[in-house]
Amino acid sequence: MEPAYKILIADDHPLFREAISSVISSGFSGSEIIETADLDSALEITRANDDLDLILLDLNMPGMHGLNGLISLRNEAPTIPVVIVSAEEDKQVVLQAITYGACGFITKSSPRAQMTEAIQQILNGNVYLPSDIIRTGKENTSRRSRHEENPISPELLNSLTRRQLLVLERMSKGESNKQIAYNLNIAETTVKAHVSAILRKLGVHNRVQAILSASDVDFSQYLKR
């Protein structure tokens, strides 16, 4: 039997709450769904329900003030996974949300099946990033002025083995260890070993920092060798 989850949907659009609630009900039957429409009540619900499995958070609902609301929620409940669900499709906003503690970012334009897969990945303990946004990196003026805030030097990239480069490339597309193992036809334990080696060689502390650093790398250039 599928596990039942307790999930908070925090969004000020009733139609979208209804839509995401439907996705959860059909994809994760037996789950308890709590709904709210502003940050203050989301914080109250979080305080009263420390057994929440997941919070789906809209970036633009009342009280959020952009990513400040995410920071407040993470400070209030650091152990509860928070995924941003937003119409925003700017790469920098997505990556900043992950930097500030979100464990995933789902765009509201995502197909139903993709939303279900994203939620499942996050409930499984993985970070979910919209690969199309991460790959294309929709440009804007602030993005160009802040281009490559945390770049990886060519020397560090050249220190990675070919297989580690392939794993890092797939990490930067938002793939989970399980997906990487499947796509590269290797064991998941091998992927974990590669990830640990990559973090050590790049001098970063976690997977998210590696993804942020690698988001603008042209991997084809390094895989030619």
Show pLDDT as tens, one digit a residue, over the chain (225 residues).
556 899 999 999 999 999 999 999 999 999 999 999 999 999 999 999 999 999 999 999 999 998 899 989 988 888 899 999 999 888 888 888 888 889 999 999 999 999 999 999 999 888 888 877 766 544 443 444 344 445 688 889 999 999 999 999 998 877 778 889 999 999 989 998 999 999 899 988 777 778 778 877 889 888 886
Q: Residue 225's pLDDT is what? A: 65
Q: Residue 216's pLDDT is what? A: 78
| CA trace torsion 133, 208, 101, 105 (10° rounding) | 20
Q: Residue 1's pLDDT is what? A: 54
What's the 3-state SS for 130-177? CHHHHHHCCCCHHHHHCCCCCCCCHHHHHCCCHHHHHHHHHHHCCCCH
Q: How many CA within 13 A on the CB side of residue 8?
A: 29
Q: Residue 136's pLDDT is what? A: 59
Residue 129: which of 212, 225, 61 has the closest Cα? 212
